[in-house]
Structure 1
Amino acid sequence: MKPIKRSKIRIQLGKIYYTYKRYLEWYSGGTRFAKNMDKDLLPKEVFQHQTPLLRKLKDVDMWYQYNKIKNIEIAIKKLNGIVIQPGETLSYWRLIGKPTRRKGYKDGMVLFYGGFKSGVGGGLCQLSNLIYWMTLHTPLQVTERHRHSYDVFPDSNRTQPFGSGATCAYNYLDLRIYNPTDEPYQLNLYLTADHLVGQWRTTKEPIYTYEVYEKDHQMTLEYWDGYVRHNTIHRKVFNLNKEEIGDEYITENHAIMMYQPFLEDGSKTKS
């Protein structure tokens, strides 16, 4: 997990390579991508979640946050109402498309190698984070998700486990969700004055509910004198009688910390 410094040329060439590799896969692969939208909501809510639109982050100007809201508002129009039929896959970036100024996207905050910078369409990770978190509470399967390599900001009123989001970068860091069930699933997204709100909906009452939680959380001091944060994400499965019938491993996270953790006992790790 030691930070790797790459030249600007190396980064740019890598971005071009992976971008066009993904284009080739989009149009020549065998994946059935979800593309049909429905303005009418499916009758059964499976899971709903909301996240605040404005967060005060250390050393980050608030204009990043305001521009992020505009960017999310544009992207939502490409996702709201999308229906994933059985056997189909939702691709976050294939639906949204490339964020450009011509489409109305503004400069927002983009996390970059342990820091942040300004970039067109910045802030859309909040949207992918929300969709990923909601999906973990459904029988839908996440077939592509990328974790953050850096833990940039200290926890501030965190309500979800560390590492329960999905970073995104057009188009090679995608979020993909596959529908293995016999029922269609519909994504419903909207903004209130203060929150980004999302729902997964379907046609029949779900027979399972889920509780997502973390295990083995710790911060370790590495040989190169930096800290790395670790955990694993799991979920409990309950039937209609609220009886636990399963406990599933979801993923693991390892992120280089860009701030000094507080270790009360002065030890090497804290869990």
Structure 2
Amino acid sequence: MAVREVSLELAAGRVTALMGRNGSGKSSLLWALQGTGRRHSGSVTVGSAASDPSALDPEQRRALVGLVPQTAADLLYLDSVADECAAADATTGSAEGHCRALLDRLTPGIHPATHPRDLSEGQRLSLALAVVLTAAPPVVLLDEPTRGLDYAAKAELARVLRELAAEGRSVLVSTHDVEFVAAVADDVVVLAEGETVSSGPVREVMAQSPAFAPQVTKILGPPWLRVDEVLAARETA
């Protein structure tokens, strides 16, 4: 599905969720923003220098916009987890062990000698995400990042993304996981048939559409989004 007439601004220091049904154009938009997706028209600019990722070489592009695709294995090509992490550290000039530390936060305990193809889907996703985040790009794009992750890993991923935003990065997450969106997002953009049909603060957008509302909102109504908010209100009362 191509996207058309989509105008999107990702603010530094905020997490934006990109939502929509399958075929709505979410992945196409991510690849267009990253710079390798084919564009028939339109432009993408990043930062004060107004750089267009499509005009950069691959290494410069990765340093500017990091993308974790739906198929995480596409980013993994070496023979072991240790090799992938070492290569990520060396390529980005990061301190030795930085990538591995990110991986351990998301999915601890993976043996360093394990071949990436022998990892579970969730473990491969965590490794690919750690590799991308090692470059510390100012813009981070993630395509269905919670797929295959258990509850603990999702919670840790949410913390990582909030920290990236706190550092001043722009984070865009394409996902169907409404509970994850409620936990991590500041803003939401909803696509349908390649066009933007709704956008705004997470509380407003998720309250407007029952299809994208978390369970707490469905039960209690707006402005409630998360269980922790309800528990905090009960304690205060």
| Alignment TM-score, normalising by the size of structure 1 | 0.26
Structure with the bigger percentage of helix? 2
Structure with the bigger percentage of strand? 1
**Which structure's CA Rg is the greater one?**
1
| Alignment TM-score, normalising by the size of structure 2 | 0.28
